[in-house]
Amino acid sequence: MARKRFIAGNWKLNLSLAEGTALVQGLAKACAADPRSAAAEFAVFPTALAVKTIADAAKGSAIGVGAQNLHWEEKGAFTGEISASFIKDTGATYVLIGHSERRQYFGETDQTVNKRLKAALGVGLVPILCVGETLPERDAGRLQDVLRTQLTGATAGLTAQQLATLVIAYEPVWAIGTGRTATTAQAQEAHAFIRSVVRQAYGALADGIRIQYGGSVKADNAKELLGQPDVDGALVGGASLKLADFAAICAAAYA
């Protein structure tokens, strides 16, 4: 089954409103200049305060916009949090859920990921569910156990129909911000296993679900990674902060 490649840029805690606006407008222009870009999907994930500004700047272009996190409650005494409906009101389409940095620094668990995922799907946001192992977990031979636990915990109580829009991002945590990148064989192995877990739980959903690779993706390795049969896109970190680099990665999805 043909799956539309999806390149997403996670800006993390970077880029001012002016910088983000300039980048997304430049990226939109680059995509518009090449009709082949319609074969792929693109999105950027700015900081929370910039989501509406960047969504407005990207309006009418091929570039979608998403938030980096959300809370599972719609309203209440949750200082500093943002609800799914608030995100949708900004014009955003996507949301990251369970990013490794949220798990590492902010106490995210498979249970809270599950609640966030349900909240996102409840308002029609397209969720990118992040899963991946740390270096000690990989070295201990626990890759499959970790991925299976994260996937089953995140999707508990959800049906294949509810998960129809789900995107999964595989993040080898040991390859984020370290300059290390999983080999194409390692990436494919993990992606194929993730798809097998989805197939065991949800059957045919596995054939259409897109799995992004998210570990130090750069312009010089994007094409090779995207050439793997189960790698359907990329969740890009640092390289998404520079227009030329990010545009080159996006082009690798359709060139």
Catalytic residue, from 41, 101, 108, 171: name it: 171
Q: Domain residues of the chain, as ranges?
A: 5-252
Q: DSSP state, 6?
A: E
**Third-level CATH fold of 5-252:** TIM Barrel (3.20.20)
Residue 243, exposed/middle/buried by CB under 10 A (0-12, 13-18, 19+)? Answer: middle
71 given a catalytic annotation: no
171 given a catalytic annotation: yes
What does each of the 255 residues of the chain score in pLDDT, given as a tens digit?
589 999 999 999 999 999 999 999 999 999 999 999 999 999 999 999 999 999 999 999 999 999 999 999 999 999 999 999 999 999 999 999 999 999 999 999 999 999 999 999 999 999 999 999 998 898 899 999 999 999 999 999 999 999 999 999 999 998 876 666 689 999 999 999 999 999 999 999 999 999 999 988 999 999 999 999 999 999 999 999 999 999 999 999 998
Closest residue by Cα to residue 8 from 54, 56, 46: 46
3-class state of residue 61 by DSSP: coil
Residue 197's Cβ-side half-sphere holds a number of Cα atoms within 13 Å equal to 23
Rounded-to-integer distance, Cα 37 and Cα 62, Å? 8
Catalytic residue, from 41, 99, 101, 133: name it: 99
